[in-house]
């Protein structure tokens, strides 16, 4: 089996191409049902936290615990993938998320806010697994198609994630039928979606794409060719020493912080103005559609126009979202528009930033750097979600969007500095 040498098989044989097609198909299906699990609960998490805690300030912890859980599992799942392959890593992540959904249901039944937070911590494994699935899509992809393959998996989350928040009404019916608080009903759909994703990946992700790619690279190395040994430093040191990787990490991490901070408090803002849960669910659905539906467009643009222009576009969209949502007042159409723009900005930054990060570091250091990226991304989201309730209570929703919008400035400053260095070096 002949493949080109490099960071991934750039000219896969028919066998590798077939494995890649099978992998992408399965990842898409798993993302749909897993996204359904995430979306089912995301629109009621802050509201249920508000009811269990009795405080708007504490309601922001719902998003915080989910993102903390995702961050805490980012590196362990990456290490598990490196040791055992994507199948074991991804199925484990979905299984932990299913357990978290069940714990949140228990918390609603016993009216325990601490148990609810513990359940959300485990629930965050769904977000971590969802994010790491995009890397599984690139294990066997050619370098020129990496962004597009990555974006297809990101896009596939649209279906489940958009349908999920609209199950709020049916979730209430299921909750009453099962004798649990109606507001917690959507977590039943979350548990079911995560269990389905676990089974799909554990049973059908064969052969494992990461292990297959590693075998292909080993086969491509001539036995007479000396092994290349590269000094291995920490992933964080590698990012700091590589300007392009620093820009990519900033775009991913800060873009996620903006999105989580605004999205987490939007259901609370809407319920303040008397919006029904169904309308809240519809708003979050449209926001999630913005996050995922156009990701293939951003993937195509990142391959054709370059990663940095798409990152800038994403950050401009985030600022526009902050302005529109922050000035919406009681206007639901204006708030929905702001939330859609928020999702689009996040999508552009994630797709282009992930592609830029992948190509900015050596192949053998890439998994560790990607794990650190997901860790910092989720920690930033946790911080943004946790502080969003405090800022909401202090300065209101408009003040929250102003603070969130300012978070894009470091990435834009890094891009400007990089451009200045490039021009200066070109003039020498």
Q: pLDDT band at residue 226, thresholds of 50, 70 and 90?
A: very low
Q: Give the number of C-alpha atoms closer than 13 A to the C-alpha of residue 40, restricted to the C-beta side.
A: 31
**CA 185/CA 335 separation, integer angstroms:** 26
Based on the number of CB atoms within 10 Å of its own CB, is 215 exposed (0-12), middle (13-18) or buried (19 or more)?
Answer: middle
**CA 27/CA 138 separation, integer angstroms:** 11
Position 15 scores a pLDDT of 80
**36 CB-near residues (< 8 Å, 6+ apart):** 159, 160, 161, 163, 164, 167, 189, 190, 193
**CA 165/CA 241 separation, integer angstroms:** 41
Pairwise pLDDT comparison (380 vs 27), residue with the higher score: 27
Position 230 scores a pLDDT of 43
Pairwise pLDDT comparison (95 vs 265), residue with the higher score: 95
CATH number attached to the domain at 14-214+235-422 = 1.20.1250.20
99 pLDDT exceeds 80? yes
| DSSP per residue, 178-220 | HTS-GGGTHHHHHHHHHHHHHHHHHHH--S-HHHHHHHHHHHH
**CA 6/CA 344 separation, integer angstroms:** 33
**144 CB-near residues (< 8 Å, 6+ apart):** 10, 303
Per the prediction, the chain carries an average pLDDT of 84
Model confidence pLDDT, tens digit, residues 177-210 = 888 888 888 899 999 999 999 999 999 999 999 8
Pairwise pLDDT comparison (228 vs 367), residue with the higher score: 367
Q: pLDDT band at residue 221, thresholds of 50, 70 and 90?
A: low
| DSSP per residue, 92-134 | HHHHHHHHHHHHHHHHHHHT-HHHHHHHHHHHHHHHHHHHHHH
Helix (H/G/I), strand (E/B), else coil: 362: coil
């Amino acid at each position: 089996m002949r493949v080109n040498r490099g960071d991934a098989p750039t000219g896969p044989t028919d066998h590798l191409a077939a494995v890649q097609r099978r992998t992408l198909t399965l990842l898409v299906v798993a993302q749909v049902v897993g996204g359904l699990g995430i979306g089912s609960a995301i629109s009621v998490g802050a509201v249920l936290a508000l009811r269990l805690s009795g405080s708007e300030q504490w309601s922001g912890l719902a998003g915080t615990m989910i993102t903390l859980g995702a961050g805490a599992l980012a590196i362990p799942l990456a290490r598990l993938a490196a040791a055992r392959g994507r199948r074991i890593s991804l199925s484990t992540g979905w299984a932990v998320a299913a357990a978290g959904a069940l714990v949140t249901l228990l918390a609603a039944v016993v009216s325990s806010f601490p148990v609810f937070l513990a359940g959300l911590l485990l629930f965050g494994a769904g977000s971590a697994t969802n994010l790491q699935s995009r890397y599984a899509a690139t294990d066997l992809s050619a370098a020129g198609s990496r962004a597009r393959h990555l974006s297809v998996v990101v896009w596939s989350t649209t279906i489940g994630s958009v349908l999920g928040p609209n199950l709020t009404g049916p979730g209430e019916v299921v909750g009453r039928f099962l004798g649990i608080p109606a507001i917690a009903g959507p977590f039943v759909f979350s548990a079911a979606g995560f269990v389905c994703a676990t089974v799909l990946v554990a049973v059908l992700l064969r052969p494992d794409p990461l292990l297959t790619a590693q075998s292909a690279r080993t086969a491509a190395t001539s036995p007479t060719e000396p092994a290349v040994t590269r000094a291995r430093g920490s992933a964080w040191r590698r990012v700091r020493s590589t300007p392009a990787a620093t820009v990519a990490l900033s775009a991913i991490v800060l873009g996620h912080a903006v999105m989580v901070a605004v999205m987490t408090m939007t259901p609370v803002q809407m319920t303040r103005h008397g919006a029904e849960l169904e309308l809240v669910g519809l708003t979050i659905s449209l926001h999630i559609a913005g996050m995922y539906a156009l990701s293939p467009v951003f993937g195509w643009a990142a391959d054709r126009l370059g990663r940095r222009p798409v990152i800038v576009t994403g950050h401009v969209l985030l600022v526009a979202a902050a302005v529109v949502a922050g000035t919406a007042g009681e206007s639901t159409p204006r708030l929905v528009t702001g939330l859609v723009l928020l999702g689009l900005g996040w999508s552009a930054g994630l797709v282009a930033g992930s592609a830029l990060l992948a190509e900015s570091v050596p192949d053998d250091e890439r998994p560790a750097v990607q794990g650190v990226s997901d860790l910092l991304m989720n920690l930033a989201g946790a911080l943004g979600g946790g502080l969003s309730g405090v800022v909401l209570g202090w300065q209101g929703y408009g003040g929250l969007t102003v603070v969130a919008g300012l978070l894009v400035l470091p990435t834009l400053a890094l891009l400007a500095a990089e451009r200045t260095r490039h021009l200066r070096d070109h003039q020498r």
